Amino acid sequence: MLMWNWFVSPVFHIQSISFWQVLGLLWAVQLFVGDTSENPAETLRWENLSLALSACVPEHKAEELREEVKQKNEGIWEQSGIHIFAQLGGYAFTLTLGWLVHTFAIAA
């Protein structure tokens, strides 16, 4: 926030903003840009496809394959939620760390 107010405001001649506005702006940009890290849902999708292709799904193995896919899919929403909140938490931590460095190291 202070880095924004210290650098971006004077350079681009815009008004100062609060920490919460910076955090909201960061999250909004992240929604549009996305992240380049591995998505657990995408990984699981490819694993399921690979599993189906390797089994070639004969009749006597179809039920076994369904059970195995169901077991793999059980925790996907929890993993996806953890992944999203870890990303947001990491950005909030980085923003806070930058603010602390600016406030106590540079301003002092």
pLDDT of residue 25: 80
Answer yes or no: pTM beyond 0.95: no
pLDDT over 60 at 48, yes or no: yes
**Residue 69, domain member (yes or no):** yes
Mean pLDDT value of segment 85-103? 81
Domain count along the chain? 2
Task: Kindly state whether residues 82 and 61 are assigned to the same domain.
Answer: no
CB 4 within 8 A of CB 16: yes
**Residue 22, domain member (yes or no):** no
**Residue 2, domain member (yes or no):** no
**Residue 89, domain member (yes or no):** yes
Task: Kindly state whether residues 69 and 86 are assigned to the same domain.
Answer: no
Residues 6+ away with beta carbon under 8 Å from 65: 51, 52, 55, 57
**Residue 51, domain member (yes or no):** yes
Q: What is the domain range of residue 62?
A: 39-74
Roughly how many angstroms between the first and final C-alpha of the chain, as a whole number? Answer: 17
pLDDT over 60 at 107, yes or no: no
Task: Compute how many other C-beta atoms are within 10 angstroms of the C-beta atom of residue 47.
Answer: 13
Task: Kindly state whether residues 93 and 105 are assigned to the same domain.
Answer: yes
pLDDT tens column, 6-24: 677 777 777 877 778 777 8
Q: How far apart are CA 101 and CA 105, in angstroms?
A: 5
